[in-house]
């Protein structure tokens, strides 16, 4: 009879966590060590914040650079936008010759507003060579 009682008590002790291989409750409830940021994690947090700050403070300049990149890739809408930026001097130094260049590039791909701007530029003598097309 005693052996059966001892087995039940032993089973209860294991179920309660007393038989966890020698670890106390105090050892199991320790807090994890303080987390330290690596230099890559800090960099991953700082770079987007700086980029957003640049976009916020220099929107006109940023928009021009993005549109200019797409214009070089051959997108006619971007070429038209870059032409307008050069014509108005928004985000870049005003340059009518470069404006007509980008309007010509967009008009060659069938952009109607660029064709109109080329015609107006020709009437106002904004460009030296419109012989093409």
Q: Please say if the pLDDT value at position 22 is more than 60.
A: no
Contact 57, 29 (CB under 8 A): no
Q: Is the dihedral of CA 77, 80, 86, 89 positive or negative?
A: negative
Convert the pLDDT of each residue in 52-87 to its tens digit: 888 888 777 788 888 999 999 999 999 999 999 999
| Domain-embedded: residue 87 | yes
Query: How many separate domains does the chain show?
Result: 1
Residue 102 placed within a domain? yes
Is 34 a member of any domain?
no
> Which domain, by its residues, includes 68?
59-123
Count other C-beta atoms under 10 Å from residue 102's C-beta.
Answer: 25
Q: Is residue 1 part of a domain?
A: no
Predicted local distance difference test score (pLDDT) of residue 70: 95
- 59/70 Cα distance (integer angstroms): 17
Evaluate whether residue 84 is within a structural domain: yes
Tally the C-alpha atoms within 13 A of residue 20's C-alpha that lie toward its C-beta: 10
Band (pLDDT 50/70/90 cuts) for residue 5 is: low
């Amino acid at each position: 009879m005693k052996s059966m009682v001892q087995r039940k008590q032993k089973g209860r002790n294991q179920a309660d966590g007393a038989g966890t291989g020698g670890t106390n409750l105090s050892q199991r409830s320790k807090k994890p060590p303080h987390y330290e940021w690596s230099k890559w994690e800090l960099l991953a947090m700082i770079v987007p914040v700086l980029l957003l700050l640049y976009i916020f403070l220099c929107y006109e300049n940023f928009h021009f650079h993005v549109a200019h990149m797409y214009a070089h890739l051959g997108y006619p809408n971007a070429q038209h936008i870059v032409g307008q930026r050069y014509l108005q001097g928004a985000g870049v130094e005003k340059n009518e010759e470069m404006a007509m260049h980008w309007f010509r590039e967009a008009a060659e791909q069938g952009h109607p507003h660029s064709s109109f701007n080329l015609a107006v530029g020709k009437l106002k003598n904004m460009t030296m060579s419109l012989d093409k097309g």
